[in-house]
Structures are given as C-alpha cells and as structure tokens.
Amino acid sequence: MKTPKLLPLFFMFSCLNIGTGYAAEHHSGHNMAAGGGAGENGCLKPQLTKFLPANLATVAPGSAFSFWAFNVEKPGQIKVTVKNIPVEVTTEDKEAFFLVKGKLPADLVNTAARINIKVNAKIPRCNGENGWLVKIAEQ
C-alpha cells in the first residue's frame, strides 16, 4: 500500500536530479576559467568595450583614449595601432578587467582614424580584435 504513495515522490526526485545534471553540463562552458572545459583546448575570447571617446567623435590631435579589456591574462598581450602606427598604452588592473589608456599620434590631423586593438593569446584561436573610429580635427 505504501509503494504507490512513494512512486510519485521518487519520480519527482528523479526528474529534478536529471534537470540539475543537464543544467550543470550545459552551462559548464560559460566560464572556461573556472574549469568548465578550460585548459589546453578551452579559452575565453577577449572582450574589448567602453571605448572613449565615442565612435565617430571629433577629437583634437594627440587626444587621450581608453577602453576596457576583459578576459586578458597579461597587459603585454594588448597591442594598439592608429592608422597602422603603433601606440604605447598603459594599463591598470581593475581585477575583473584591464583599463587601457593611450594617446592618438599628435601628427595625425584633419583625418579619420581607426583605433585598432589586437589581443594575442597563447592559443591563436583565442585571439581578439576590435576598435573604433574617431575624427581628428585640425587643431
């Protein structure tokens, strides 16, 4: 008599357990750094955001720019160019990301220029690239 009452309870527990296992397996790849597939074959692509000045903003020659770099191991992996001119940048470790700052080349005047960012990782398929355009005024 007691078996029929326990059967629905056993069924609910089994469904809950299967769902939890599926969710853990399905979501394990979202945070590769936490061990869900990280290692030699896994990686997180760099995320480059919070570009300042804004895209297509008009700026003075030699103006400062900045951006945030997530999923970057070392600041030395970040390379910045403006119109194929290498730009020296400084980085601040904000624990969750790097704040990257630089200045536009002073000799670029009255032109549009792309601030191009490349992040070179140990594994080539984990490299990242992004950037944005600014309009550089005459003075």
Looking at CATH, the fold of the domain delimited by 47-136 is given as Immunoglobulin-like (2.60.40)
Dist CA 30 CA 21 (whole Å): 16
Q: Which amino acid is at 7?
A: L
Cβ–Cβ < 8 Å for 45, 126: yes
Q: Is the Cβ–Cβ distance between 65 and 81 less than 8 Å?
A: no
Q: Is 83 left (phi over 0), alpha (psi -120 to 50) or beta?
A: left
State pTM to two decimals: 0.70
For the stretch 8-32, pLDDT in tens is 545 555 554 544 444 444 333 333 3
Would you kindly state where each structural domain of the chain is located, as residue ranges? 2-30, 47-136
pLDDT in tens, 60-102: 999 999 999 999 999 999 999 999 999 999 999 999 999 999 9
Q: Which residue did the predictor score with more confidence, 10 or 130?
A: 130
Which DSSP letter does residue 111 get? Answer: E
